[in-house]
């Protein structure tokens, strides 16, 4: 069963959201991993299956995976529902408009999990960083956690052009906004639900800049941001 509800504040999209069930009856998931997708019919199934296996093998608490579809025009939504029907921990959220920030705002806004995360569908980030990413949030040590391709210990394989663009962008943020975090745009982040409730109404962007704006607001609010070096 799928229900339709009014979108969270700040989103103009109609949201077709997940049924009211949990991965295990009576056990609220402690972690909700959101995967925003737009026309990802080729990558979605292997991504979700691999992520589900990894979390099932390594994450010691109840979890769920939310596929947040951004108005896909291919078979992405169909495949998402197939995965949800087959895997109890997988849920589907569908939005009528595009935008990664819009998808995260909607998915995080309705989630019951105390720790909310997201990652890119291409699984560019090594999954071994997942537990180090969310552990400080589960313990209450930090309110946000980000994967960083620029932190000491990170191992990155990417083209020189993208590396230069990424370093210049993050350098620009440090110079103009005086931020202390090292990597604003890595598609691997987590936040405590209470912090998300505080920050999401303040974030104006629904697209690519959503991550940066969220982190800047968090830092200026005095929230603790934990950085995890990642393999990329």
- Could you write out the three-class secondary structure of the chain? CCEEECCCCCCCCCEEECCCCCCECCECCCEEEEEEECCCCCCHHHHHHHHHHHHHHHCCCCEEEEEEEECCCCCHHHHHHHHHHHCCCEEEEEECCCCHHHHHHHHHHHCCCCEEEEECCCCCCCHHHHHHHHHHHHHCCCCEEEEECCCCCCECCCCHHHHHHHHHHHHHHHHHHCCCCCCCCCCEEEEEHHHHHHHHHHCCCCCCCHHHHHHHHHHHCCCCEEEEECEC
In this prediction, residues 225-230 reach a mean pLDDT of 86
- 211 counts as catalytic: yes
Q: Is the pLDDT of residue 20 over 60?
A: no
- According to the model, what pLDDT value does residue 207 have? 83
Q: Is the pLDDT of residue 174 over 50?
A: yes
37-52 pLDDT, tens digit per residue, is 999 999 999 999 999 9
pLDDT above 70: percentage of residues in the chain: 75
Catalytic hit among 43, 194, 211, 231: 211
| 127-131, 160-164, 176-180, 212-216: range with lowest mean pLDDT | 160-164
Confidence band, pLDDT 50/70/90 cuts, at residue 101: very high
pTM score, whole prediction: 0.82
- According to the model, what pLDDT value does residue 14 have? 45
């Amino acid at each position: 069963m799928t229900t339709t509800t009014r979108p969270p504040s700040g989103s103009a999209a109609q949201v077709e959201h997940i049924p009211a069930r949990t991965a295990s009856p009576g056990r609220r998931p402690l972690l909700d991993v959101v995967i925003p997708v737009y026309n990802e019919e080729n990558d979605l199934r292997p991504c979700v299956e691999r992520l589900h296996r990894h979390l099932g093998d390594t994450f010691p608490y109840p979890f769920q995976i939310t596929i947040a579809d951004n108005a896909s025009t291919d078979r992405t939504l169909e495949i998402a529902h197939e995965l949800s029907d087959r895997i109890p921990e997988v849920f589907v959220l569908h939005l009528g408009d595009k935008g990664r920030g819009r998808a995260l705002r909607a998915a995080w806004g309705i989630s019951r999990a105390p720790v909310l995360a997201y990652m890119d569908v291409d699984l560019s980030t090594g999954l071994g960083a997942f537990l180090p990413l969310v552990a400080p949030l589960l313990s209450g040590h930090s309110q946000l956690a980000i994967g960083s391709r620029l932190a000491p210990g990170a191992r990155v394989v990417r083209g020189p052009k993208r590396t230069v663009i990424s370093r210049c962008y993050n350098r620009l943020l440090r110079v103009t906004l005086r931020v202390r975090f090292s990597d604003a745009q890595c598609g691997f982040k987590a936040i405590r639900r209470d912090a998300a409730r505080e920050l999401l109404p303040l974030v104006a962007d629904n697209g690519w800049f959503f991550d940066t704006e969220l982190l800047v607001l968090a830092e200026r609010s005095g929230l603790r941001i934990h950085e995890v070096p990642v393999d990329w």
